[in-house]
Structures are given as structure tokens and as C-alpha cells.
Structure 1
Amino acid sequence: MPRYEYRCRTCGDTFELNRPMAESGAPASCPTGHPDTVKLLSTVAVGGTARATAPAPAPGGGGCCGGGGCG
């Protein structure tokens, strides 16, 4: 079940709630009972490593002269 983070506009406390995605937009009261809260934008950390790859070679010359100077 997803975890959503909220901040109370009255007391400034930040808290989390586990709730289904279908209820992500439903109002949430802070733990001290204040009803004026806002859902915060959460960031997701994804673990793993990235492999560095060599850039693709530039395409060879083309045209009538194979990339050389026509003249």
C-alpha cells in the first residue's frame, strides 16, 4: 500500500499515512486533530547503477563523393 506524506497547515507537523491509491486525494487530518492539511509531493529513490556507454559513432559521409570535397 502506498505511503503519502502530508503537512498540517495549522501546526506545521509533517506526517505519513498508508492508504490505497484510490484514496490518495481524500482529506487527511493531522495526528493532533487539525483538519487543514496538504498532501506533499513525494520523491521516489530508485537504486541501481548506470553503465556508461560510448557515444554512437557519427554517421559516415554521404552524398556523391562519400563525404569528400567534391569539386
Structure 2
Amino acid sequence: MPRYEYRCRTCGDTFELSRPMAQSSAPANCPAGHDDTVKLLSTVAVGGSAPTPAASPRATGGGGCCGGGCCG
């Protein structure tokens, strides 16, 4: 079951709740009993040792797809 992080606007406490994805937007009370909370965006760091892909000749022209001509 996914864990979601919330912050209480009343006391500033940050807490986590495990709940189904279908209930991710449901209101949450903080552990102190306050009901003015907001769901936080969480970042997920995934570690590993996957090899770094080599740069293609098109992508080395500077700028990548933002004007570097790698698309097409």
C-alpha cells in the first residue's frame, strides 16, 4: 500500500499515512487531531548501478532536442 506524506497547516507537523491510491486525495487529520492538512509531493530516489548510456552523435551537437537537431 502506498505511503503519502502530509503537513499540518495548524501545527506544522509532517506525517505519513498508508492508504490505497483511490484515497490519496482524501482529507487527513494530523496526529495532534488538526484537520487543516495538505498532501506533499514526494520525491523518490531510486539507487542502482545501471550503466550510463553513451551519447548519440546527434545529441552531441549541443542543446539536445531543444534546438540541437536530435529529433529527426
CA distance in 2, matches of 1:25, 1:53: 37
Q: CA RMSD in A?
A: 1.6
What percentage of residue pairs aligned between the two structures are identical? 78
Shift of the alpha carbon at 1:44? 0.8
Shift of the alpha carbon at 1:26? 0.1
Radius of gyration: which is bigger? Answer: 1
CA distance in 2, matches of 1:34, 1:10: 7
Name the amino acid aligned to 1:43: T
Name the amino acid aligned to 2:41: L
Gaps of 5+ in 2: 59-72
Residues 22-61 of structure 1 aligned to structure 2 (within 5 Å): 22-56=22-56
Higher-helix-fraction structure: 2
Aligned to 1:66: none
CA distance in 2, matches of 1:14, 1:37: 9
Gaps of 5+ in 1: 59-71
Shift of the alpha carbon at 1:21? 0.2
Aligned to 2:18: 18
> Which stretches of structure 1, 4 residues or more, deviate above 4 A after TM superposition?
none
TM-score (norm. length: structure 1) = 0.72
Shift of the alpha carbon at 1:53? 4.2
